[in-house]
Structure 1
Amino acid sequence: MTVVSWDLNLAFGASPGGGGQGQGRGQGQAQGQAQGGGGGGRGGGSNVLSERFLANATFAALYQSELDRLTQELYTSGLAQNVLDSWTQTLEEGASDLVSSDVVSSEASSVAQYFDE
């Protein structure tokens, strides 16, 4: 059995209401959150805890360090693209009676756009 994660629009900063749409991951999102901006999530509003955390220079540096590490580990390395390709293939091969290949391809492309800043 393969479990395929689905409906990740909020995880990639895009919501039907446009909360964080177009921000993607990385520097822009971190800066938006540090300045009290949206960064995605429900409604794209600010988060007091996040603002306080990032206002502290030590914590902000730690956050940026981890963001850089994860960006390298997940995106620069190609891991995220490999996982997306695998899930796309799984859907195309095993769920073609439930969802068309065009839809799978379109949705995969929508997700993949956030892999590149």
Structure 2
Amino acid sequence: HGEIVFEQCVVDDDAVLGQVGQGFAYAQARLEPARLSHCMRFIGRASRAMEIAQQYAAQRESFGQRLADLQQVQAMVADSHIDLHASRLMVRDCARKMDAGESVKHDSA
């Protein structure tokens, strides 16, 4: 990310958003919901990737067997489903806490 630095910048009192010196705190307050939103998008992408991988494994053959019939492939798919499910649960729990007005500083990190 880029960085913008303002030196000796004067702003009229009526043009200040919030309180002077509280910009970092305001930015931090917006990070929690933004992180949650990013996680939701990533879970959607991961879900679609799982669908594609399962379709591929069901069609692709190697050494005379479908990849989907190989135990190691089944184990990898199962592990991925577990990770995806856990991710969904964590996002839902974080969203529930945010809706209740609780801090999700650590949950969303």
TM-score normalized by structure 1? 0.30
TM-score normalized by structure 2? 0.31
Q: Which entry has the higher C-alpha Rg, 1 or 2? A: 2
